[in-house]
């Protein structure tokens, strides 16, 4: 059914009708501040009412172009009609039964599909949960269970979730850990290859090798015996930590080190997976095969679903060892099945094509904009790192926050990541017109902030 307002939601560009926030948005933000946990991190007062494709309509009828995709979740866009239809149909048949205690076919159908689209020519098994952090919890428990080893290695800058196990791995921002100790013991953090700011001080071209050397020659030689390490967990692209893309050599080296010591390699693809980088999984660009894979966010286009995939011989734990009441909910799985079909029938290719287009347009921004230190990305996972000085690379954190706000004031929804990086993670359905519109707005916002800071 097409109504006047639906036509608006099919629009390609923002349309602001009220000053922001509008009266309804102001009312809801005030109530939210009274009733909802203040631990959430809202960058600006967007109060969403409806969504379609890459557009969001707020409660005052303002239209925004969404380059956040609900934090990399609505892979197929907001309320894709085929996803909505599948959800509605499934909701009328079976809402819940609990895969922990009963069988239903959805669990099998999606597991077979995931097995087919995940590298590694061996039988696999799938564990179902509801969120990214639970997918990571399951991976960590499985790694310990399967190896009988206690220790874990994660990376500086990583984000793996906020439940206490995942939080023990997360090393992205101190506020995420402050006052929550004691965390899981036995977690060691290693330097993550970040060529623009190599954490071990190596030049960009040597950063991957230098970080691997630090892991092998310092951490595994002085701090933890490799024979007692269950797993190394890595984001193939660091998400919350700042959209950091390590060279392929870094991931290949990690795989080699893990194999050499019988440590499992866990890839956390919660943010970088589901076609966002132009392949199903970001680790595929490096040609590696992790032992355990964590998936969530984009997999069900907005329905909650977290998944842990491993070789069948590895995921061989006893009944009762791990489970979840809601995990693998049939409605979420129905959404995931349509999401996967849409991704393989064009959206993943669109992510690759539009990502190339956006990166091409952004390529000269570091020359043209004094706040832009580096542009990096792959597919529709794109970042601009803002700095006050191109030589010292002093982080332009407040300026980044201002650009995010200034973009919102112009009807573009973007978010930051890391201390001073701005990320573009639109739904995979965007078209060139929307990409151009977003970049025009962003450039305008950036130019304004550059003028503000003099
Ligand atoms: C790489 C990564 N892992 C895990 C998580 C946690 O996911 P969730 O918020 O669904 O628990 C996130 C969330 O941003 C993430 O980016």
Quick: pLDDT tens for 302-344: 999 999 999 999 999 999 999 999 999 999 999 999 999 999 9
> Closest Cα partner for 309 from 269, 348, 344?
269
CATH no. of 1-65: 3.90.1150.10
Please identify, by atom number, the ligand 1 atom nearest to the C-alpha of residue 294.
Answer: 3
Cβ of 272 closer than 6 Å to ligand 1, yes or no, is no
Please identify, by atom number, the ligand 1 atom nearest to the C-alpha of residue 131.
Answer: 10
Residue pair 68/26 in contact by the 8 Å Cβ criterion? no
Please identify, by atom number, the ligand 1 atom nearest to the C-alpha of residue 239.
Answer: 16
Quick: pLDDT tens for 197-239: 999 999 999 999 999 999 999 999 999 999 999 999 999 999 9
CA distance 368 to 306: 41
Quick: pLDDT tens for 252-277: 999 999 999 999 999 999 999 999 99
> Closest Cα partner for 312 from 104, 112, 107, 129?
112
Cβ of 412 closer than 6 Å to ligand 1, yes or no, is no
- What's residue 182's pLDDT? 96
Q: Is the pLDDT of residue 9 over 50?
A: yes
CA distance 254 to 172: 20
DSSP summary character for residue 433: H
Q: How far is the CA of 221 from the centre of ligand 1 (A)?
A: 31
Cβ of 238 closer than 6 Å to ligand 1, yes or no, is no
Q: How far is the CA of 190 from the centre of ligand 1 (A)?
A: 20
The stretches of 92-206 forming alpha helices (DSSP H) are 105-117, 132-147, 164-169
- What's residue 2's pLDDT? 45
Class of domain 84-343: alpha beta
Cβ of 160 closer than 6 Å to ligand 1, yes or no, is yes
168's tokens:
């023990």
CA distance 436 to 22: 26
Residue ID of nearest Cα to ligand 1 atom 8: 132
- What's residue 4's pLDDT? 52
- Give the angle 203-204-206 at the CA atoms, nearest 5°: 70
CA distance 424 to 382: 5
CA distance 160 to 333: 23
- What's residue 454's pLDDT? 82
Quick: pLDDT tens for 165-200: 999 999 999 999 999 999 999 999 999 999 999 999
Please give the span between the terminal C-alpha atoms of the chain, in angstroms, as a whole number. 50
Q: Is the pLDDT of residue 1 over 60?
A: no
- What's residue 228's pLDDT? 98
- What's residue 340's pLDDT? 98
- What's residue 3's pLDDT? 52
Q: Is the pLDDT of residue 294 over 70?
A: yes
| pLDDT band at residue 8 using 50, 70 and 90 as cut-offs | low
Q: How far is the CA of 448 from the centre of ligand 1 (A)?
A: 32
Cβ of 268 closer than 6 Å to ligand 1, yes or no, is yes
Q: Where are the domains of the chain?
A: 1-65, 84-343
Quick: pLDDT tens for 372-384: 999 999 999 999 9
DSSP summary character for residue 193: P
Q: Is the pLDDT of residue 124 over 80?
A: yes
Residue pair 126/110 in contact by the 8 Å Cβ criterion? yes
Q: Is the pLDDT of residue 95 over 60?
A: yes
- What's residue 11's pLDDT? 85
If you average pLDDT over every residue of the chain, what do you get?
Answer: 97
């Amino acid at each position: 059914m097409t109504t006047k307002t639906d036509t608006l939601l099919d629009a390609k560009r923002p349309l602001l009708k009220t000053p922001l926030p509008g009266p309804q948005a102001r009312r809801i933000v005030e109530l939210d501040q009274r009733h909802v946990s203040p631990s959430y991190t809202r960058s600006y007062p967007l109060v969403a009412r409806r969504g379609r494709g890459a557009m969001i309509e707020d409660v005052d009828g303002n239209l925004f172009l969404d380059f956040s995709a609900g934090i990399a979740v609505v892979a197929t866009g907001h309320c894709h009609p085929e996803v909505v239809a599948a959800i509605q149909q499934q909701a009328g048949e079976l809402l819940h039964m609990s895969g922990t205690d009963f069988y239903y076919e959805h669990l099998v159908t999606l597991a077979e599909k995931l097995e087919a689209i995940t590298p590694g020519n061996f039988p696999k098994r799938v564990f179902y949960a509801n969120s990214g952090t639970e997918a990571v919890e399951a991976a960590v428990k499985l790694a310990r269970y399967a190896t009988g080893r206690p220790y874990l290695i994660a990376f500086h800058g990583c984000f793996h979730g906020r439940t206490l196990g995942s939080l023990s791995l997360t090393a992205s921002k101190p506020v995420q850990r402050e006052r929550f100790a004691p965390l899981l013991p036995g977690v060691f953090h290693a330097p993550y290859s970040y060529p623009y700011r190599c954490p071990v001080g190596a030049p960009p071209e040597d950063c991957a090798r230098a970080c691997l050397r630090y892991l092998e020659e310092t951490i595994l030689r002085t701090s933890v015996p490799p024979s007692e390490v269950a797993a190394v967990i890595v984001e193939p692209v660091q998400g919350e930590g700042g959209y950091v893309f390590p060279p392929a050599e870094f991931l290949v080296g990690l795989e080699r080190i893990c194999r050499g010591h019988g440590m499992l390699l866990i890839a956390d693809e919660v943010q970088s997976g589901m076609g966002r980088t132009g392949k199903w999984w970001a680790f595929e660009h490096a040609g590696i095969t992790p032992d355990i894979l964590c998936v969530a966010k984009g997999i069900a286009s907005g329905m909650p679903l977290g998944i842990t995939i491993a070789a069948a011989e590895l995921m061989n734990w006893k009944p009762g060892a791990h489970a979840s009441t809601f995990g693998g909910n049939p409605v979420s799985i129905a959404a995931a099945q349509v999401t996967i079909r849409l991704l393989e029938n064009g959206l993943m290719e669109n992510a690759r094509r539009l990502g190339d287009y956006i990166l091409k347009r952004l390529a000269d921004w570091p020359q043209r904009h004094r706040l832009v230190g580096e542009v990096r990305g792959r597919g529709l996972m794109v970042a601009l790192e803002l700095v006050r000085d191109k030589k010292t690379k002093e982080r332009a954190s407040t300026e980044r926050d201002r650009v995010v706000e200034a973009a919102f004031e112009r009807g573009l929804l973007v978010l930051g990541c890391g201390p001073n990086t701005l990320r573009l993670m639109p739904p995979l359905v965007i078209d060139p017109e929307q990409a151009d519109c977003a970049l025009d707005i962003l450039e305008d916002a950036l130019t304004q902030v550059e003028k503000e800071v003099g």
